[in-house]
Amino acid sequence: MEIFSEHFKKDHMLSKVDARLKLGVSLFVLAMVLSYKGIVFPLLILCVSLAVCVRIKIPMRMFLLRFSEPVFIASVIILLKFLFSGQEAMFSIKIFGIVITGYKDGLTDGLQIACRILGAVSIIAVLGFSTPFTEIMAALSWMRFPRSFIEILMLAYRYIFVLLEDAMVIYNAQKNRLGYSSIRRGLGSFGTLAGSLMLKAFEHSHNITVSMIQRGYDGNMPALKHKPFKLSEVAVSALAITAIGIIWKI
C-alpha cells in the first residue's frame, strides 16, 4: 500500500497546486490523448509525465510497479493487432504447418493504441503520485460528484488500511498453520480469509455507526470545504492547457 501518494515526499513543485486544477488539466489532456490519431502526442505526454515523476522524486520501484501492468497490456495489444488484424501483409511464415502473417496496418494500429495507453497512464500516474486522496475527493466534490458517492469513497479509503492489517494478521496465522501448503488448502484458506474480512467489515461498520451517532451523525457527513482558486495557478493551468492543445492540433 506504499503506492498511495501520502507515503511520498510532500514538498515538491506540484504538492501545493490546487487538486481541482490538477484533476481538470489531467482530464483535459486525457481527452486529447484518447482522441489523437498517431503516436507522437501520446509519446510526448509520456516523456513530459516521466520527467515530472523524476522531478518530484518518485521512487523508481513504485514507478516500475505502476507501469508493469500497462506495459504488459500494451505488448499484448500490439501482438494481437499485428498478427490478427489488418489487410497489408508484412511477412508470412509457416511454422509446424501454421501460417503466421504479420500485418503492417495492424502493427501501426497496435503501436498507436500502445502509445495511447502509456500516455494516458502516465498522466494519471502524475496525478496519483502528486495528490493526496483526500484532496482528489475534495476536487470531485467540487465537480458536483454525488455526496453519497464521495462519502462511500472516503469510508472505503479510510478502512482499506484497517482491513488490510486484519487481512495480514489472518493470512500470517493461516500460513503458520500450513494453510497455503497445497492448492486445495490454499483455496480453502483464501475463502476463509475473504469471509473473515467480510465479517470484520460488518463489525467495523457497526462500531463506526455507533461512534458517529454519538458525534451527531444523522446519515450525512459534513460537506468538504473548498478554498478559493489562486489566480496564478489558474493562469499557469490555462497556459499549460493552451500549449498542450496547440501541440495536439499540430
Residue 24 found at the interface with other proteins (CB under 8 A): no
Window 103 to 162, contacts with other proteins (CB under 8 A): 109, 113, 116-121, 124-125, 127-128, 133, 136, 146, 148-149, 151-160, 162
| CB of 13 closer than 8 Å to CB of 228 | no
The least CB distance from residue 93 to other proteins, in Å, is 11
User: Which of 54/187 has CB closer to other proteins?
Assistant: 187
The least CB distance from residue 156 to other proteins, in Å, is 4
Size, binding site for other proteins by CB under 8 A: 89
Window 70 to 109, contacts with other proteins (CB under 8 A): 70, 72-77, 79-81, 83-86, 97-100, 109
**Which residue's C-alpha cell is 500500500?**
1
Backbone angles phi, psi at 100, to 5 degrees: -110, 120
- Residue count of the chain, please give it: 250
Q: DSSP class of residue 215?
A: T
Window 1 to 20, contacts with other proteins (CB under 8 A): 3-5
User: Which of 34/51 has CB closer to other proteins?
Assistant: 34
The least CB distance from residue 47 to other proteins, in Å, is 15
| CB of 69 closer than 8 Å to CB of 51 | no
Give the residue, chosen from 33, 58, 138, 139, that forms a contact with other proteins under the rule CB under 8 A. Answer: 33
Residue 248 found at the interface with other proteins (CB under 8 A): no
Strands (E), the chain: 89-95, 98-103
The three cell numbers of residue 215 are 458525534
**How far is Cα 39 from Cα 113, in angstroms, rounded to an integer?**
8
Residue 219 found at the interface with other proteins (CB under 8 A): yes
The least CB distance from residue 214 to other proteins, in Å, is 12
User: Which of 2/235 has CB closer to other proteins?
Assistant: 2
Residue 141's closest CA among 225, 30, 237, 27? 225
The least CB distance from residue 13 to other proteins, in Å, is 20
The least CB distance from residue 231 to other proteins, in Å, is 27
User: Which of 112/237 has CB closer to other proteins?
Assistant: 112
Show Cβ contacts of residue 237 under 8 Å, excluding neighbours closer than 6 positions: 21, 24, 25
CA 189 to chain centre: 29
Window 182 to 211, contacts with other proteins (CB under 8 A): 183, 186-188, 190-192, 194-199, 201-202, 204-206, 208-209
DSSP letter for each residue of 121-172: HHHHHHHHHHS-HHHHHHHHHHTT--HHHHHHHHHHHHHHHHHHHHHHHHHH
Side chain identity at residue 71, one-letter code: V
The least CB distance from residue 235 to other proteins, in Å, is 25
